[in-house]
Chain A
Amino acid sequence: MTATVVHAPGFQRSLGTMVSVRSVSKVYPGGVEALNEISLDFPKGQLTTLLGPSGCGKTTLLKIIAGLLPATSGEVMVDGMRVEGPGPERAFVFQDFALLPWATVLRNVAFGLELRGVPVAERESIAEHYIGQVGLKGFEKHYPHALSGGMRQRVGLARALAVKAEVVLMDEPFSAVDEQTRRKFQEDMLELIKNEQKTFIFVTHSIEEAVYVSNRIILLSRRPSRVMRIIEPDMPRGITPDQIRRHPAYLDAVEMIWQALKQYLD
């Protein structure tokens, strides 16, 4: 059995850091304090999950890393460069997909490249590759409204992968996808991630999902958010998805996180 490693909040990994958050605070106009002096490192090539009670500011932190929101204080470094706004090395996957309803799957997946001025033929061949990767081959000419929620999010994922960003930021990507589709999608995503040497930052409110997909889980406290605990589930990766879901390490990690988060429920 593999042990689940728990680190104190101050734990920092010095080597191979891709994204570094340094004492970031966020106060919304009107005085709502979302984040309080958060410092975190996200290791290269790993999937790190931000997990916490609802409304705890996980999405706020993700959007600050994406450069979509300014932090009130502190800074974010991506690959040694200070974040001043959205950049080509980061790609975002949206909770509600954010697909263009008037564009086909092909154009949606290629949209990030289109904005960068990549010629049509080139961007479409890249897009076709990733459409195949996420399992949507044959749907290139379909419009989003003809796809199910799960398929729409696969389009969103393909779009994020197509721009060849080194960091993929995912904001509750499965929350608008129904439960059964979600499981299959999670398994497919793990496969994809293995092949893509990218850094993934993942926001979710599902404990099971976090343990299942992550290398590291960052537990955030209630607003104003602080880092409560960092957990590395360290699941054996050679086994099948069904075995993982029954593995003691998986069940222990889920239980431990649940005990930690339970205190925030009234």
Chain B
Amino acid sequence: MEVFGRKIPMSASLIVWAVLWEIVGQLDLVSLIPPLSNVVMRLAEIVPTETFIDALALTARSFAAGTGIAILAGVPIGVLMGRSEIADRLLLPWVNVFVSAPLTALVPIIMALFGFGETTIILTVVLFALWIIILDARAGTRSISNSLVEMAQSYGASYWQAFSKVYVWAALPEILAGIRLGMVRAIKGVIIGQLIVSVVGFGYLFEIYQSNFLMEHLWALLLVLFALAFLIDGVFGYMEKRVEYYAASR
């Protein structure tokens, strides 16, 4: 948007929203919404506490492990599906079901099988992140131009060479997009897992704040989570931009 001929970046509108939040909070219009300034003060108060740092560390660990597994499993499966008609036909129906299924319903199964600990959270993260990574790696592999595949063949590439030197790289823009979307889903998964298990990490903090009606604490926690999610999304969005230039020239 332009004001007096000067371009104002889009993200600046978030400041407008923050001011609005403060006003609504100060006027005490909705019991749900305390003033932003109070939330920020509460944020400064709880972030250095040990319970918070522990919860953050645990969440980060489950997130990293879960996305790591999802990427290591998802990318090869997706590339395989993109190159092999049989694998594609066998797996695609299931991937399509799970990419849009209410995965929250499956968390109780993981809990029943693996208990109430970190393993359950990690598996929840995998469950949320995996499918979109597979689908995007598959889409990227299928969009590799036929002549690039023939080029690898005609210059005598072995199957492994074609895979590691051509297919993975040619599909990289989509693979990275899939990983970014998978990470966004993984953040949702790690929070949902912790909320359902409710005795570990931020799930435990949410439980405490909620049962004690600590509205400002809850919002402070939400702000942290939103900021982290946005940061991860942004970093990966930037990485994607850097490889975008060759997506068109494949």
A and B in contact, CB less than 8 Å = yes
Contact B161 A115 (CB under 8 A): yes
Chain B residues whose C-beta falls within 8 Å of the C-beta of A95 in the assembled complex: 147
Contact B155 A86 (CB under 8 A): yes
Q: Which of A85, A96, A102, A114 contacts B169 (CB 8 A)?
A: A102
Contact B157 A102 (CB under 8 A): no
B interface bracket (residues with beta carbon within 8 Å of A) = 20 to 34
Interface pick from A8-16, A62-70, A126-134, A203-211: A62-70
Tell me the residues in window 167-186 of chain A with beta carbons closer than 8 Å to chain B beta carbons: none
Chain A residues whose C-beta falls within 8 Å of the C-beta of B250 in the assembled complex: 101
**Shortest distance between the CB of B94 and any CB in chain A (Å):** 28
Would you call B18 an interface residue if the criterion is a C-beta within 8 Å of the partner chain's C-beta atoms? no
Chain B residues whose C-beta falls within 8 Å of the C-beta of A145 in the assembled complex: 245-246, 248-249
A interface bracket (residues with beta carbon within 8 Å of B) = 20 to 34
Would you call A248 an interface residue if the criterion is a C-beta within 8 Å of the partner chain's C-beta atoms? no
Q: Which of B154, B156, B166, B248 contacts A100 (CB 8 A)?
A: B166
Contact B155 A163 (CB under 8 A): yes
Q: Which of B147, B156, B172, B245 contacts A94 (CB 8 A)?
A: B147
Would you call A135 an interface residue if the criterion is a C-beta within 8 Å of the partner chain's C-beta atoms? no
Chain B residues whose C-beta falls within 8 Å of the C-beta of A63 in the assembled complex: 150
For B152, B155, B156, B170, which residue has the most chain A Cβ atoms within 10 angstroms? B155
Which residues from chain A sit less than 8 Å from chain B, CB to CB? Answer: 63, 66-68, 85-88, 90-92, 94-102, 111-112, 114-116, 143-145, 159, 163
Which 8 A/B pairs are nearest by Cβ-Cβ distance? A101-B246, A98-B151, A112-B155, A92-B154, A98-B147, A86-B154, A94-B147, A101-B249
Can you list 21 pairs linking A and B with CB atoms under 8 Å apart? A86-B153, A86-B154, A88-B156, A90-B154, A92-B154, A92-B155, A94-B147, A98-B145, A98-B148, A100-B148, A100-B169, A101-B170, A101-B245, A102-B243, A114-B165, A115-B157, A143-B246, A144-B249, A145-B245, A145-B246, A159-B155
Which residues from chain B sit less than 8 Å from chain A, CB to CB? Answer: 145, 147-148, 150-158, 161, 165-166, 169-170, 172, 243, 245-246, 248-250
